[in-house]
Amino acid sequence: MKKIIALLLVCLVGTSLSAQIDRSQMPKPGPAPTVNIGEPDTFTLKNGLKVLVVENDKLPRVSASLIIDNKPYTEKKPGTQAMVSSLLGTGTEKTSKDEFNEEIDFLGASISFGAESAYASSLSKFFPRIMELMAEGALMPKFVQEEFESEKDKLIEGLKSSQKDVGTIANRLSSSLAYGPNHPYGQYVSVETVEDITLDDVENAYRNYFVPEDAYLVIVGDITTKEAKKIVKKTFGKWKKATPPSTTIPEVSPAQYTQIDFVDMPNAVQSEIIVQNTVDLQMADEDYFPVIVMNQILGGSFGSYLNMNLREDKGYTYGARSSVGDSRYASRFRASASVRNAVTDSAVVEFMKEIDRIRNEKVDADKLEDTKKKFAGSFVMRLEQPSTVANYALNIETEGLDKDFYETYLEKINAVTQDDVQRVAQKYLKDDQMQIVIAGKGSEVIENLEKVEFKGKEIPVLYFNKETENVEKPEYKKELPEGVSVETVYNDYISAIGGEEAVSNVNSMMMKGNASVQGMTLSFTSKSAKGGKSLTLVEMNGMTLSKQVFDGEKGYAAAQGQKMDMTEQQIRDTKVTSGLFPELSVSEGAELVGIESVNGEDAYVVKLTDNVREFYSVNSGLKLATETTAEQMGQKMTSTVSYLDYSEKNGVMVPMMLNQNFGPQTIEIKIEEVKLNEGVTDADFE
């Protein structure tokens, strides 16, 4: 007997030795575990509420989830649903809010309410009581003015606090652009719409939509169906039968062409990119399985095209993903990532590249196989949660699916071919109608974004504000580097035009030039001298059209025979720019306010007064422009003089071209003659 045991041992040792693992080979998975999708018990109350029960006694707890599957509707005052949701649970006909909350907390349980939903969970020993409280909160709410005001304030504060959240703003704009501002999925809640909401609005929304016609109650956990039935009848049996108002949902129209939709977020350290187009896809559609497989390959997991490119290859982002929604009403394809500012344009290019790839290249057969296995695995793993069984049954009911939809789920995944993937990519990823929504820091990203090309053409950029309204391209201020001040900008300018010594040798300067306006030639003379003195004269055929004189302290403007003394404001505005090289000293109140682009060149902006700003090139130091704002007949008008074609005269650089911009008009003045220290007398400034 002992011998036999010894022999057996030897054999065992032998096998374990020969079974030494070869770790260079990846272990193959064993046979697939058997999957057993149970079915929940179901019953319907007289008022129409359908109840699903999944018994599972692994843990001593039970949850109940109420879902009212109404058709979505456009809110007259967006935010009303949010208010219904936050007011439910703030007191009932029977119980004050404090007692209600205290009892839930006391039981260590939780109950929450949505505008058309409710959820409760607790230890099984407290479940009967928790269901009573849930039903009381859901069916017998008492909406009072005081709570209403308080919840409204909180909602408004919350909205204000999300105004700087890059993700929130990007999502808001993307929904609005995808579905349209009047679609239930496209409208957004703003401070203004919430301010309009009254207590009556909330009561009406609750009365109209919190009804049992399309309601489901799902109970999962340590409870028998018999017990559940008893409890549900007692608690939700009294819910009055009613149908929600009928509603039409606006049509969703696709974008006309592929575009970048940009909203400026000056605080952003990353750009939020959302590439999207709307799709018409339901779970019951034949394309459903090919589409979810296609999306899985494109951006559904870590190893997908998008993430492997944008994260693993380029390191642009912490993660890039995509999704294709399915819905009975409207849904969209959406690919997104948060990327650092500097690579925003490159990230857009890579997004479009991967979308193009899945549309035009057949997916690798192995990759497709692996993707299918991923679906099989997730399917199995989801069954760990007892609520999955209930969710599946609920989907079959609400989405109009075949009874065996989930039993045959993996078969249908397996049936998807390489051709299917490409076909649905071409059908659902509409690369000629895509919206590339970006929320980011304009001053750092927009210049390059405007150059992004797709299929050899620049993608047009449209601009939006945070309220999702289309706007003109805004000016983006850049951040000033450290150590830069008005002094350093002025010093750079002076040395760029020849240095302090050369500049201080100039006592006066005269410039003469010509401009052509509507076929007529204007001649232009400018004289300036130390002490802030200046004269500007515009003539045509020897006739004076306009003349502006400033003697350092006061001045006047004359046009068509009329002479007007400068106002105090005009004197202040003229004093800071008048004369020879005012940059030799910094005038009082001068302020460096930022960096802006002047004719494509970055320039430091020096604000001299409320109405005068001057621009100095970041690169060359030269003065690029002077911008003056004047009020005329109650309207603010801005005119800009740009200085171009600098060339050297007696050791000083002088612009040989002046462009005067006034509204839509531009006058180009070509300088013909420049004289230093001659041709100027004090009489010129009288």
Partner 1 sequence: MTKTIMLSVFVFFITLAQAQQVEFTEYDLDNGLHVILHQDNTAPVVTVGVMYHVGAKDEAPGRTGFAHFFEHLLFEGTENIERGEWFNIVSANGGSNNANTTQDRTYYYETFPSNALELGLWMESERMLHPVINDIGVETQNEVVKEEKRSRIDNAPYGKVIYSTGINPYMFDKHPYKNSVIGTMADLDAAELDEFKDFFDKYYNPNNATLVVAGDINISETKKMVKDYFGPIASGPKVERVDITEDPIEEKIIATDYDSNIQLPLTALVYRTPSMKDRDAYILDMISSVLTDGKSSRMYKRMVDDEKIALQVLAFARSQEDYGTYLIGALPLGDVELSKLRDVMDEEIVKLQTDLISEREYQKLQNKFENRFVNSNASIQGIASSLATYQMLYGNTDLINEEIDIYRSITREEIREVANKYLQENKRLELDYLPEPNE
Q: Which span sits near partner 1 by CB under 8 A: 20-28, 41-49, 183-191, 427-435?
A: 20-28
User: Least Å distance between CB 471 and partner 1?
Assistant: 20
User: Least Å distance between CB 239 and partner 1?
Assistant: 25
* Contact indicator for 523, 671 with CB cutoff of 8 Å: no
Residue 107 burial (C-beta neighbours within 10 Å; 0-12, 13-18, 19+): middle
Residue 524 burial (C-beta neighbours within 10 Å; 0-12, 13-18, 19+): buried
Rounded-to-integer distance, Cα 591 and Cα 564, Å: 30
Number of residues that bind partner 1 (CB under 8 A): 81
Tally of CB atoms within 10 A around 675: 15
Amino acid of residue 28:
K
- What is the bridge-based pairing of β-strands 520-529 and 508-517? antiparallel
* 101 lies in the site for partner 1, by CB under 8 A: yes
| E strands in 69-189 | 110-114, 117-123
DSSP 8-state class, residue 397 = H
Q: Which span sits near partner 1 by CB under 8 A: 295-303, 418-426, 571-579, 581-589?
A: 295-303
- Cα→Cα distances 188→168, 220, 463, Å: 11, 34, 18
Q: Give the position of tokens 């203004």.
A: 192
* 342 lies in the site for partner 1, by CB under 8 A: no
User: Least Å distance between CB 123 and partner 1?
Assistant: 6
Structure tokens at 669: 């003045």
* 542 lies in the site for partner 1, by CB under 8 A: no
User: Least Å distance between CB 171 and partner 1?
Assistant: 14
Instruction: Single out the residue of 166, 260, 437, 618 in contact with partner 1 (rule: CB under 8 A).
Output: 166
Rounded-to-integer distance, Cα 396 and Cα 284, Å: 9
Instruction: Single out the residue of 244, 254, 303, 325 in contact with partner 1 (rule: CB under 8 A).
Output: 303
* 460 lies in the site for partner 1, by CB under 8 A: no
* 270 lies in the site for partner 1, by CB under 8 A: yes
* 311 lies in the site for partner 1, by CB under 8 A: yes
Measured from the CB atom, is 384 or 568 closer to partner 1? Answer: 384
Measured from the CB atom, is 123 or 522 closer to partner 1? Answer: 123
* 9 lies in the site for partner 1, by CB under 8 A: no
Measured from the CB atom, is 129 or 427 closer to partner 1? Answer: 129
* 313 lies in the site for partner 1, by CB under 8 A: yes
* 410 lies in the site for partner 1, by CB under 8 A: no
Measured from the CB atom, is 285 or 407 closer to partner 1? Answer: 407
Residues 102-161 binding partner 1 (CB under 8 A) are 102, 104-109, 122-123, 126, 150, 153-154, 157-158, 160-161
Binding mask 275-294 for partner 1 (x = CB under 8 A): --------------------
Measured from the CB atom, is 221 or 582 closer to partner 1? Answer: 221
* 15 lies in the site for partner 1, by CB under 8 A: no
Q: Which span sits near partner 1 by CB under 8 A: 59-67, 71-79, 248-256, 413-421?
A: 59-67
Binding mask 23-42 for partner 1 (x = CB under 8 A): xx-xxxxxxxxxx-------
Rounded-to-integer distance, Cα 159 and Cα 174, Å: 17
Measured from the CB atom, is 342 or 637 closer to partner 1? Answer: 342
Residues 582-641 binding partner 1 (CB under 8 A) are 594
Rounded-to-integer distance, Cα 618 and Cα 399, Å: 60
CA-wise closest residue to 614 among 588, 585, 594 = 594
* 334 lies in the site for partner 1, by CB under 8 A: no
User: Least Å distance between CB 382 and partner 1?
Assistant: 9
CA-wise closest residue to 435 among 270, 269, 279, 249 = 279
Binding mask 353-392 for partner 1 (x = CB under 8 A): ----------------xxx-xxxxxxxxx-xxx-------
Tally of CB atoms within 10 A around 507: 13
CA-wise closest residue to 242 among 48, 44, 45, 43 = 48
Instruction: Look at residue 48 and give its three-state secondary structure.
Output: coil
Cα radius of gyration (the chain): 36
Rounded-to-integer distance, Cα 630 and Cα 567, Å: 12
Instruction: Single out the residue of 92, 277, 317, 548 in contact with partner 1 (rule: CB under 8 A).
Output: 317
Measured from the CB atom, is 220 or 535 closer to partner 1? Answer: 220
| E strands in 407-532 | 435-440, 453-454, 457-458, 461-464, 470-471, 508-517, 520-529
Q: Which span sits near partner 1 by CB under 8 A: 12-20, 180-188, 545-553, 627-635?
A: 12-20
Instruction: Single out the residue of 50, 61, 77, 527 in contact with partner 1 (rule: CB under 8 A).
Output: 61
Measured from the CB atom, is 270 or 577 closer to partner 1? Answer: 270
| SS3 sequence of 199-224 | HHHHHHHHHHHCCCCCEEEEEEECCC
User: Least Å distance between CB 398 and partner 1?
Assistant: 25
Measured from the CB atom, is 106 or 482 closer to partner 1? Answer: 106
Residues 208-267 binding partner 1 (CB under 8 A) are 267
User: Least Å distance between CB 38 and partner 1?
Assistant: 12
CA-wise closest residue to 118 among 84, 77, 71 = 84
* 58 lies in the site for partner 1, by CB under 8 A: yes
Cα angle: 436, vertex 252, 80; to 5 degrees: 95
* Contact indicator for 565, 583 with CB cutoff of 8 Å: no
Residues 547-586 binding partner 1 (CB under 8 A) are none
Instruction: Single out the residue of 229, 340, 547, 607 in contact with partner 1 (rule: CB under 8 A).
Output: 340
| SS3 sequence of 513-571 | EEEEECCEEEEEEEEEECCCEEEEEEEECCEEEEEEEECCCCEEEEECCEEEECCHHHH
* Contact indicator for 336, 273 with CB cutoff of 8 Å: yes
Measured from the CB atom, is 100 or 550 closer to partner 1? Answer: 100
